[in-house]
Amino acid sequence: MPRKFPSAAECKRSASRTDDIVPALVGYAHRKQFLTEVIEELDTLDSVVSDPERFPREWKESTATILGLLPVVTIPKRMAGAVRSVGDQLTKSDLDLMRLWRRVPWAFVAFETVEPAEHGIILISPIGPPPAGWPSDLFWNRLPLFSPSLADLSRSGFRSGLVLVFWDGSLFHTYGMILTFRGFDGKDLQFFASAVDDAADGDEGIPFLTGAVPGGGESTSRLPVSDIIRNDPLPFLRLFAWQNAPSTTGRRGAWTFSASMIEWKPGEPPSGTFDPTDRTSWNHLVEDIEDFSAHTDGSVAFRIGSEGPMYDPFVVYSKEDGILFLRGMSDEVYAAGLHALAPLAVFPEYPDVRVSMTMRAAADQILGGLTDVLTQLERIHLPADDAGDEGRAPAGESTIKQIQPVLGLLMERHNEGKEYSDKEIAARTGVSEEQVRLLNEQVTGIFNRMPDTGPVPDRFGLPPKPFHTLFTSRTPRADGVLALKDLRKASLPPDEEALLEKTPILRFAHWVIKKGELPATAAGYVSPGTVQEAHDAGIVTRYFSLPDEDEYFLAPAGKELDAPLFHYFRTILETAGIIRLRKGVFVVNTDMLDAPVGPLYYRLAEALFERVPWDESRYGSPCPHLRNSGGFLLYALNKIARSDAAAADGWVDTERLVEVFIGAHPDLAGDPEEDTSQIAYWVKLNIDAQFGHRLCIPLGLAEVRRTDRTTVMRPTRVFRAVMDDGQGTMIP
């Protein structure tokens, strides 16, 4: 681990060196035909990855590049061949970096913990041992990683992640997609790696229990996760669609698939001590298993209890294999199964497999179904009374094929606010209204039994799904409520193009693109003369609005850091990939030179929403939740501006936005018996300054004006041009 990290400018220069190296390596991979199978495999996924809500348009192209590089950059011998083949196309410094990769190969790293270090550098703790070929004298347990994007994402909270990294001699850098997961922890990623590995070894027979590690616990750290990802990376890259999937919780805690297996034969005493009274109480179960297994050549299964399949332990015995399985859908249910089976057999206290139901669903979908012995036997022995949540099938003995579309529409009605009547659902699915009513009672019962997790957010009239979407996707993507229009290929009317061209960030971007390059200082900032030129030309102003004062005039611009607006706009362009620091100059990417207005605006807007820390302030720590609430606040601003409560010209007092924001995040309100005026004042400062001046104004989405008493905002014509709210936006 290095004692001193490089500066941010040095890190950016190292990262930019791949701009010349990667195209040369991709060409080498083409000549070696490493890409042929990759492209064929990706072509078979077109129907899967064509959903724009789950995969961006560039996912396939980005994935093809990554998969084409891996056979070269992760294998030292092939890297040596690449050096010999393309070395004459590169500069000496680039060639030295490639030679370094012969010793330290690129690696996929699954990780669970993130520790911030400095200026975009973080420390990550990989899951599993180092990959094959990793130098024995190079650290692995904590990797220093330069990734401003990941450092920023870590502030909003995620449980685990996946990155492809390369070494520059001082620290690691990311290449390609960065995946972070809200609903998966490290054990979930280990389970997925085990499932992928099992699928790859299909010729050796199916496993008894996917992801099983005898003894569980820390022994899972021996699983070679990085090697498994390198050998079959595509399933892991498809986890892109599951990044925002939440963990699921029932009334007995988090829903997890917790299972163990032991070798067992009927009539054998348990391997440990037990209470004789327990043997008496479960004597009937023991006798039944012994009796059934004596008269069958296959298997037998029991659910212990009558609360329902999610709340009762499940026992499966495979006579042919001599294996007894115990499965519970939460830690509490699994523990209840341990106690219940004590007269019969002793299972491990910590299950052999413990995986979230969200990850199990992802694995089942991506891998085309889990095929271990336990899963197959569960499907065979699924009790008939499990059709209903309370062990009660709906009237009319509906088949599963009938029930599933009904449940889908009921969930849409609850989560998305769709106004389906029972009669309409019955007509669309071909069942009776009585069947719909019974299923609706069961769905409602599931939600009512979920545990109390704290104060309920005020969704401001939104159904659960769009409310959740506005927070989990920083860019507004809640269809029918508020979504950034896809301007990448759409042609805009001339009047709308003219509106976008006048937005502050596009004026700055066009000025930079026209110049072609910006001279940089040794520290990695734009030269003072160029900063002064931008101010003299009126591209950016000399002032910056403070949260609680009028316009505060700065000294004449000199260094970039003395010109906050210039520095902020330059950061947005760099984050969006429009400019990059290269050999002492910020150069414009060639694909941006003739970029149409719509795609350029979309690229800048997406970068600002997703990756630029617009909620940060020089004058204090960021307001919790604000960064993930940009879309929600825009929705609220638009809704209030359209309402009768707004002023006639559409202006909205930001105090109203403060009320909505705190309502959506009740943890900010604190004790209702205490004075919350200071909290509200602090939130208002951040909404006025950060949401208003650092998000809305650069993109031209809202006007912000100070009055004698407060700050007011209203949506603009640009808002209407670039946002779809499902009903048209009021124009001031």
SS3 letters for 476-526?
CEECCCEEECCCCCCCCCHHHHHHHHCCHHHHHHHHHHHHCEEEECCCCCE
pLDDT at 502 over 90: yes
pLDDT at 203 over 80: no
pLDDT at 398 over 50: no
Q: Both tokens of residue 636? A: 């609220």
For residue 582, the cross-strand partners are 585
Phi-psi region of 114 (alpha: psi -120 to 50; beta: other; left: phi over 0): beta
3-state class (DSSP) for residue 318: strand
pLDDT for the residue numbered 289: 59
Whether this prediction's pTM lies above 0.85 is answered by no
Q: What does the pLDDT average to over 240-264?
A: 81
pLDDT at 565 over 50: yes
pLDDT at 513 over 90: yes
Residue 420 or residue 451, greater confidence: 420
Smallest CA-to-CA distance from 286 within 271, 269, 306 is with: 269
Residue 267 or residue 459, greater confidence: 459
If pLDDT is split at 50, 70 and 90, which confidence band does 144 have? very high
pLDDT for the residue numbered 551: 43
pLDDT at 545 over 50: no
pLDDT at 386 over 60: no
Residue 651 or residue 646, greater confidence: 651
Residue 511 or residue 68, greater confidence: 511
**Phi first, then psi: what are they for 517, rounded to 5°?**
-160, 155
pLDDT at 278 over 50: no
Residue 156 or residue 356, greater confidence: 356
Beta strands in 33-106 (DSSP E): none
> Of 188-197, 244-253, 429-438, 446-455, which gets the smallest average pLDDT?
446-455
Residue 424 or residue 161, greater confidence: 161
pLDDT at 450 over 60: no
Q: In terms of residues, how long is the chain?
A: 732
pLDDT for the residue numbered 54: 65
CA 441 – CA 435 distance, rounded (Å): 10
Contact 246, 301 (CB under 8 A): no
pLDDT at 198 over 90: no
pLDDT at 659 over 60: yes
Q: What does the pLDDT average to over 214-228?
A: 70
Q: What is the DSSP letter of 617?
A: B
Q: What proportion of the chain, given as a percentage, has pLDDT over 70?
A: 79
Smallest CA-to-CA distance from 113 within 125, 128, 127 is with: 125
CA 71 – CA 68 distance, rounded (Å): 7
3-state class (DSSP) for residue 317: strand
pLDDT at 306 over 50: yes
pLDDT for the residue numbered 63: 85
Contact 189, 127 (CB under 8 A): yes
3-state class (DSSP) for residue 2: coil
Residue 291 or residue 262, greater confidence: 262
Q: What does the pLDDT average to over 578-584?
A: 88
Query: How many C-beta atoms surround the C-beta of residue 223 within 10 A?
Result: 20
pLDDT at 251 over 90: no
Run of H or E including 47: helix 46-49
Alpha helices in 502-622 (DSSP H): 504-515, 528-536, 564-575, 597-610
> Of 19-28, 245-254, 262-271, 446-455, which gets the smallest average pLDDT?
446-455
CA distances from 284 to 267, 273, 315 (A): 13, 19, 14
Q: Both tokens of residue 312? A: 């009762």
Torsion angle (degrees, nearest 10) of CA 228, 129, 131, 196: 0
Residue with tokens 């913990």: 113
pLDDT for the residue numbered 404: 67
3-state class (DSSP) for residue 414: helix
pLDDT at 569 over 60: yes
CA distances from 657 to 547, 639, 692, 714 (A): 16, 11, 11, 11
Cα angle 143, 145, 147; round to 5: 155
Q: Both tokens of residue 253? A: 């805690």
pLDDT at 219 over 60: no
Residue 585 or residue 299, greater confidence: 585
Question: What are 103-136's pLDDT values in tens digits?
Answer: 999 999 999 878 887 778 999 999 999 998 899 9
Query: How many C-beta atoms surround the C-beta of residue 30 within 10 A?
Result: 12
pLDDT for the residue numbered 315: 87
- Mean of the per-residue pLDDT values of the chain: 81
pLDDT for the residue numbered 437: 82
CA 161 – CA 179 distance, rounded (Å): 5
Contact 484, 692 (CB under 8 A): no
If pLDDT is split at 50, 70 and 90, which confidence band does 174 have? very high
pLDDT at 633 over 90: yes
Q: What proportion of the chain, given as a percentage, has pLDDT over 90?
A: 36
Contact 200, 221 (CB under 8 A): no
